[in-house]
Structure 1
Amino acid sequence: MSIGNSPEDERPFEDGRSEEGHEEEARPSVGRALQQARIAAGLTVDDVSSATRVRIAIVHAIEADDFTPCGGDVYARGHIRTLAKAVHIDPVPLLARYDDDHGGRPAPTPAAPLFEAERIRPERRGPNWTAAMVAAIVAVVGFVGFTAFKGGDSDSDATSVAQGASPSTSKPAKPTPSHTDSATPKSDPSDSAIAAAPQDKVTVQVSAVDGRSWISAKDHNGRMLFDGLLKKGESKTFQDSSKVNLILGDAGAIQLYVNGKKIEDDFQPGAVERLTYTKGDPEVG
């Protein structure tokens, strides 16, 4: 007894079915074709990932015909072409099959972004959120200085604080270390900087604390904020006016802070997670 229409089914064709119908059923999906070619070439998923620099999680997803982690049709077609060359098969039929299954070929895009998508590198292509966080800290320091100025006993103390000179009393001196720390270059803002972010925005900090992970982040308009590999010890911070969409290639390696609060979800190692956070997250209760 045979279950389904497996390509390996060697039963003779029934007379009542056309040869073209059998050819359509026997033709494997894009992911299945890449997997069969890889096995026939004697390669493992690790071998293909090392040769193409396409993440292992993405290779597994494509072989399972899940193209969501690719980040769009243009990137998916680029990955299909790269993987097909690595397992020594012609990518043209696979691209045609992908286009048939996903609504046709996408509009042409410049070659440079496609090349960068196929060769994932930890690039900093998003807006300079560090500068925005520094500006927020400076605003907080200014408010503290103004409060100290109002509580001062003499006009000379108020003048020194307003001009940025070292104040003579102990109370206005508190903002000085924070201002010095904020001027030191950092790759990502601290937790206190996230807490000082404007309340009318959503701020998400992604940190690779237990290993490296591929991540993708988009704003509420679907614009790509980041798409690449986050190495162990690195962090990225994303901010939008209403919503941040995330895809985590290895959620177990990631620690999330949303709007200054730690997310306590028990993500499993190697699990792919698709998350969306808004200004109201994390919810209370």
Structure 2
Amino acid sequence: MSIGNSPEDERPFHDESRETRTSVGRALQQARIAAGLTVDDVSSATRVRIAIVHAIEADDFTPCGGDVYARGHIRTLAKAVHLDPGPLISQYEAEHGGRPAPTPAAPLFEAERIRPERRGPNWTAAMVAAIVVVIGFVGFTAFKSGNTDSDAKSSVAEGSTPATSKPASPTPTKDKPAAPTGEPSDSAIAAAPQDKVTVQVSAPNGRSWISAKDHNGRMLFDGLLKKGDSKTFQDSTKINLILGDAGAIELYVNGKKIDGNFRPGAVQRLTYTKGDPVAG
């Protein structure tokens, strides 16, 4: 009795079911014939080209363009000839390497995760930076102002005399000499030039309209002389006056007062020349 394997057990296994099993193309062809359909009928019903139908029935799946298209054609042709496409597709996958492994999701997830994100501007950081700049500027200004004040105080403490502003001198009022009282002084008479006629018109008692012209008739003044005001006119030859209210007027001609005893409200027309005052 032999303990080892018998020679019959060492013979290669013979798969009789594979040899007896009908191929995918043959099964489709037999079903088409049994259904009474031609290749043209199947091509028209499925829109699969005639050449591809002939190739599939001959178990040549190269014209399909790949396993995905081959499985799609098998499913379409099987339905057209009234066959269940599931067993045929399973048989095709067993004979041609099976269904391709699906693409793992992890690499896709990693690629999506490392994709840079588009971010908008960081307004919070910009606002914080602006606030810091403003605070820094205010602090610098305050520090500089404090140093300036301390320098000024130290200069005063060391004995420097600060400049004091002088009060503004009052602006002298033009054409308002003091109203003469009584006879003019000798200096006023001496101040009148001898080669000209000088007439001073004052209104100490009220206001009056006056008009003054030189010897050529040129207007020197024409207007209202208010109370307390005075006007002085000079000419080389002659001064012509018109007094609207002679009673309110005092006259000094060539430094001497004219006692005209004018009545209030009276209008007087006067002419004065060089030398002694003589009313014209």
TM-score category of the 2 structures, normalised to the smaller one: 0.3 to 0.5
Query: What TM-score do the two structures reach when normalised by structure 1?
Result: 0.33
Does 1 or 2 have the higher relative contact order (CA < 8 Å, sep 6+)? 1
- TM-score (ref. length: structure 2): 0.34
